């Protein structure tokens, strides 16, 4: 029987669940009232004319009913939503097409499979998932669903291709996609300048691969990124080998190295030398460099030195994942450690907190033993301690952060553990709970404050969908400013006035005899981190910070003084003038940027030489007309740069900006400066794009697929990362395969 009062769900989170379902209102509610979901006493399906159990707090029965009874309606809705047809009932939220009418019932376009066939298909899917060791969410894979739908709607019986035929088809699609991507690169509107990231990875079968990705901004400031190469490295991958692969790749894709704004690379000596010999502007991965700076302060050191030279031996593990270079550079027997005794003490203290965390989280026996102690409070909080991993330094920072929050509970566990007659409760647990003295807690609190800027930068670069090099330079400059402060741990009364950390630190630990010793150790840590930071990032001044001017978020906050900002502005004007004049057909004798505005630069330390404020002083024009045009353009560039900086500084106040969206809206207002923005904002600051590519290699080149050859791996990784972005017409692809 049809209920008398039906109404639609007012706010539909999942519209497909309510296509043919209405809610039932109570009889005693005012008839003309505007119903809400809390007024419903049940739900009613208008197709199968049945009631559904429903409550405001638990509406999941509606979704179960639709999945069990009306899968055809759901699939038709999802297909229609995918294709976005011009006129569909669900575009306006109407459910009229699924309501029963007096004249005729709902006509279904596709024939629904029988219940027996559907059950059999689900059983075979489950067995395939288990026998092939596939994840359960494989059923939600869009390509698999598309393939099954195509096979279900085809006339005749379809057969899966053989292993060899499938591989040949993949290689042909790979060739077709490469040709289309080359055509895309030829368009200047699509790509004018580009940047690259490179990295080396070692498979489980000890086969080394070099990955090279490209990033660029289109004329509409849309970020594009593609994988150019994932090729195996034969033999020793020396600097000459890496350089040869880079040259071959650029020639293969018809890419002009002169249009390469920057190469982001790992910190290996061979990669640095290869980029320098090739004459490429390069910079290390910021995330990995931060790890190399902070790692020696937190990581457990190894006793045995292991050679890390990739030239003397064969393939080595990928450096970004293997921290051998950290351990080898800072070992107990190395004189680097001998020069910093305080660093060893700090590592030992951090290791004690690590042991305490392992003790609390090691086994179920620990939890059971803690629960037996009636005096212990807040057990769940104690067991929520975080354990770090050696490949991410900030995991150690967050371990210390969590231990600091649990300080009172951890101290209570320690006291109970040391008390007579209680320790036997923990006999089944391997290891002992370390002695965490008050001095160690004080050192940990100071260390946490010292490492906070590094964690802020790491989280920012990890959170950004695309972390730009311009933004990273501004953040690194701020980290260096904090580390360079000699009064960071000055605990005198005058220095503690405006520091909440110092006030709280003195109140908590000033009365202890170790106070001065801990403060001196923290100061030595600060000096150590500053020295390591300077080694990794040299010359972070106007010669490189001028790139940050192109990011409107940092146009007014990056520089330490007015003179430094003026110097950066002059360099930006020179760069913009060069880009404007690059395409001038009037300019003869192939005048380059070095001849017009720049002197030769040293790529290894990434320092651009400042040409001075008189940008046209070094230019030689063939005639007076060209000289006049250059002078006019110089003045126009100067005015446009100054207007852009004023506009960017005003726009960023009180707003969180997307720099690419900002430039998309402003590119016509600042056409000259936008050329430099398009060139330099494409450079990223971390090797995350390459790490994602190489993680796919780890899936493709797994133990179960150890017969897959290097060329097939390269093709699969290329198509996995690039095929959707290319958006190739299916008709052209089928014609190519035929």
Task: Work out the angle between the directed axes of helices 671-680 and 624-652 (0-180°, nearest 10).
Answer: 70
Which tokens belong to 330?
């800072």
What local confidence, expressed as pLDDT, does residue 670 receive?
A: 92
Query: Which segments of the chain have a pLDDT < 70?
Result: 1, 28-33, 81-111, 202-206, 300-342, 362-386, 388-391, 421-431, 463-466, 539, 541-542, 558, 560, 583-623, 652-656, 690, 693-710
pLDDT at 640: 92
For the chain, how big is the Rg over CA atoms in Å?
A: 32
298-307: b (≥16 Cβ within 10 Å) or e: bbebbeeeee
CB burial of 73-89 (b: ≥16 within 10 Å; e: otherwise) equals: bbebbeeeeeeeeeeee
Reported residue count of the chain is: 738
Long-range contacts of 149-155 (CB under 8 A, 24+ apart): 153/110
Q: Please give the backbone phi and psi of residue 510, each rounded to the nearest 5 degrees, phi first.
A: -60, -35
């Amino acid at each position: 029987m049809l209920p008398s009062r039906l109404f639609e769900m007012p706010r539909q989170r999942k519209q497909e669940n309510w296509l043919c379902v209405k809610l039932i209102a109570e009889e005693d509610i005012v008839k003309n009232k505007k119903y809400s979901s809390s007024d419903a006493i049940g739900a009613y399906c208008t197709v199968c004319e049945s009631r559904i159990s429903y409550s405001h707090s638990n509406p999941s029965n509606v979704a179960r009913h639709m999945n069990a009874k009306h899968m055809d309606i759901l699939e038709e809705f999802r297909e229609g939503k995918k294709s976005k047809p011009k006129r569909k009932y669900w575009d306006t939220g109407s459910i009229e097409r699924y309501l029963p009418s007096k004249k005729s019932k709902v006509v279904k376009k596709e024939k629904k499979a029988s219940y027996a066939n559907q059950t059999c298909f689900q059983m075979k899917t489950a067995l395939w998932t288990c026998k092939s060791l596939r994840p359960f969410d494989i059923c939600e894979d869009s390509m698999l669903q598309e393939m099954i739908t195509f096979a279900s709607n085809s006339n005749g019986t379809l057969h899966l291709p053989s292993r060899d035929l499938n591989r040949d088809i993949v290689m042909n699609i790979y060739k077709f996609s490469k040709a289309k991507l080359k055509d895309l690169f030829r368009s200047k509107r699509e790509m004018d300048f580009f940047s690259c990231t490179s990295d080396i990875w070692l498979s489980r079968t000890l086969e080394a691969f070099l990955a090279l990705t490209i990033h660029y901004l289109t004329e509409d400031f849309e970020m594009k990124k593609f994988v150019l190469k994932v090729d195996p490295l034969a033999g020793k991958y020396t600097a000459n080998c890496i350089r040869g692969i880079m040259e071959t790749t650029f020639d293969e894709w018809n890419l002009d190295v002169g249009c390469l704004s920057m190469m982001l690379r790992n910190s290996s000596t061979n990669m640095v030398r290869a980029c320098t010999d090739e004459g490429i502007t390069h910079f290390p991965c910021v995330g990995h460099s931060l790890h190399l700076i902070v790692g020696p302060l937190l990581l457990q050191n190894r006793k045995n030195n292991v050679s890390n030279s990739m030239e003397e031996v064969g393939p080595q593990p990928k450096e970004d994942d293997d921290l051998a270079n950290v351990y080898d550079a800072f070992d107990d027997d190395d004189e680097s450690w001998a020069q910093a005794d305080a660093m060893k003490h700090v590592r030992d203290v951090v290791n004690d907190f690590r042991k305490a965390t392992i003790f609390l989280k090691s086994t179920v026996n620990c939890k059971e033993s803690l629960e037996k102690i009636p005096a212990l409070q807040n057990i769940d909080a104690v067991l929520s301690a975080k354990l770090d991993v050696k490949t991410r330094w900030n995991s150690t920072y967050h371990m210390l952060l969590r231990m600091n929050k649990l300080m009172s509970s951890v101290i209570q566990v320690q006291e109970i553990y040391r008390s007579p007659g209680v320790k036997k409760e923990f006999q089944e647990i391997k290891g002992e709970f370390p002695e965490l003295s008050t001095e160690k807690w004080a050192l940990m609190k100071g260390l946490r404050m010292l490492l906070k800027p590094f964690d802020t930068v790491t989280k920012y670069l990890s959170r950004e969908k695309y972390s730009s090099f311009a933004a990273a330079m501004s953040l690194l400059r701020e980290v260096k400013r904090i580390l360079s402060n000699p009064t960071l741990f000055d605990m005198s009364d005058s220095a503690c006035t405006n520091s909440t950390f110092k006030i709280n630190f003195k109140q908590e630990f000033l009365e202890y005899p170790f106070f001065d010793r801990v403060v001196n150790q923290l100061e030595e840590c600060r000096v150590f981190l500053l020295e390591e930071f300077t080694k990794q990032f040299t010359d972070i001044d106007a010669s490189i910070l001028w790139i940050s001017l192109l990011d409107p978020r940092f146009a007014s906050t990056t520089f330490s003084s007015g003179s430094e900002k003026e110097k950066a502005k002059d360099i930006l004007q020179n760069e913009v003038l060069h880009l404007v004049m690059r395409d001038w057909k009037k300019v003869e004798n192939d005048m380059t940027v070095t001849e017009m505005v720049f002197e030769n630069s040293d790529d290894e330390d990434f320092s651009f030489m400042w040409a001075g404020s008189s940008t046209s002083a070094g230019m030689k024009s063939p005639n007076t007309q060209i000289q006049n045009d250059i002078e006019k353009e110089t003045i126009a560039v100067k005015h446009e740069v100054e207007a852009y900086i004023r506009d960017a500084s005003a726009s960023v106040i009180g707003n969180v900006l997307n720099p690419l969206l900002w430039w998309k809206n402003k590119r016509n207002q600042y056409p000259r400066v936008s050329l430099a923005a398009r060139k330099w904002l494409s450079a990223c600051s971390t090797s995350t794009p390459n790490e994602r590519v190489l993680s796919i290699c780890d899936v493709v080149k797994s133990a179960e697929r150890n017969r897959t050859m290097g060329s097939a791996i390269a093709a699969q990784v290329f198509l996995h990362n690039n095929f959707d972005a290319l958006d190739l017409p299916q008709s052209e692809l089928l014609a190519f395969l035929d």
